[in-house]
Homo-oligomer: A and B are copies of this chain.
């Protein structure tokens, strides 16, 4: 596989956004996910302190944004153009979901400039603008309310780009065993623990080996599910030991009632 170039050639294009807050929030979403190239087509109110406020630490993306007067101009150097589309159009166009969009964009950006295009807050992209796109991407929604906020849509698409890039770069989340701070208990340590537990449960008259009613079975299932680490095991062993000590001291013999 050729070396992955990250998001170098991927551009987020906002067509005719009316609310500067959405431009700022889109820039923040981009920077959160590691993207940097923003193009604005005829923004209604830009630059704007509202956009800067919502961008927080992504003001650099706003300052570097390119501004054009048409989508055609914003994507003229792009070999792959994907447009966000909420609705089905009269003439069907090849449609992708956000995962497919991210795969196509990450693969495509190795040798091409790639544009991901988002339309107006109220009316999306025009039919003419949608026809400048090779593909359309639709974000799945529930039935009752299908219109996403512009910055929310940018967030979802950028999130899937991040996931896809992490995936092709071979980055996977750490498994619990890799990030856990304490070694897990071994089988033998657990067997000693179960023996200790059973001994104490008998002493406190909670458990009758002649009529076990699956108690130890359930305890094994429970502790098996949580996979104790050694520190947790030692804490539990300490509790059992102290329990034994207090039984001996205060209740010689087995006086306590079985509370089961």
Q: List the B side residues contacting A95 at CB < 8 Å.
A: 173-174, 176, 179
Task: Report A124-182 residues with CB < 8 Å from chain B CB.
Answer: 138-149, 151-152, 155-156, 159, 162-163, 166, 173-174, 176, 179-181
- Partner among B25, B33, B98, B151 whose Cβ is within 8 Å of the Cβ of A141: B33
- How many copies of this chain does the complex contain? 2
Task: Report A92-112 residues with CB < 8 Å from chain B CB.
Answer: 92, 94-95, 97-98
Residue of B nearest to A24 (CB): B149
In the complex, whether A214 has a CB less than 8 A from a CB of chain B is: no
A94 to B225, CA, bound (A): 13
- Given A149-B25, A156-B159: A92 and B179 within 8 A (CB)? yes
Residue of B nearest to A229 (CB): B92
Q: List the B side residues contacting A163 at CB < 8 Å.
A: 140
Tell whether, in the assembled complex, residue B181 and residue A31 are in contact, meaning their CB atoms are under 8 Å apart: no
Tell whether, in the assembled complex, residue B97 and residue A173 are in contact, meaning their CB atoms are under 8 Å apart: yes
Tell whether, in the assembled complex, residue A179 and residue B88 are in contact, meaning their CB atoms are under 8 Å apart: yes
A8 to B257, CA, bound (A): 43
Q: List the B side residues contacting A155 at CB < 8 Å.
A: 148, 152, 155-156
Q: List the B side residues contacting A33 at CB < 8 Å.
A: 141-142
Tell whether, in the assembled complex, residue A34 and residue B143 are in contact, meaning their CB atoms are under 8 Å apart: yes
Q: List the B side residues contacting A18 at CB < 8 Å.
A: none
Tell whether, in the assembled complex, residue B88 and residue A149 are in contact, meaning their CB atoms are under 8 Å apart: no
Q: List the B side residues contacting A180 at CB < 8 Å.
A: 92
Tell whether, in the assembled complex, residue A149 and residue B29 are in contact, meaning their CB atoms are under 8 Å apart: yes
Residue of B nearest to A57 (CB): B145
- Partner among B92, B98, B143, B145 whose Cβ is within 8 Å of the Cβ of A58: B145
Tell whether, in the assembled complex, residue B142 and residue A162 are in contact, meaning their CB atoms are under 8 Å apart: yes
